[in-house]
């Protein structure tokens, strides 16, 4: 009986805790200054509303995804 109760409780916790989360999209671009790429630049995207931040780092060509 205890085992059934534990399994039921774990199932409820897993079902309640499941969430599709915020909608995420891919972002890509190139950072340059005076036409020259910026290498190893830390980039942050902050949502206008609630949601997680996204971070990235540019490569030697100034590109980020």
In this prediction, residue 13 carries a pLDDT of: 57
Q: Strand ranges (DSSP E) for 1-65?
A: 29-30, 32-33, 36-37, 42-45, 54-57, 63-64
Global confidence as pTM: 0.57
pLDDT tens, per residue, the chain with 65 residues:
566 666 566 665 555 555 677 777 888 899 999 999 999 999 998 888 888 888 899 999 999 98
In this prediction, residue 35 carries a pLDDT of: 94
């Amino acid at each position: 009986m205890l085992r059934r109760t534990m399994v039921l409780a774990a199932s409820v916790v897993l079902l309640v805790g499941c969430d599709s989360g915020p909608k995420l999209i891919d972002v890509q671009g190139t950072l340059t200054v005076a036409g020259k790429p910026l290498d190893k630049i830390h980039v942050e995207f902050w949502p206008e509303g609630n949601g997680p931040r996204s971070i990235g780092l540019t490569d030697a060509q100034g590109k980020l995804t």
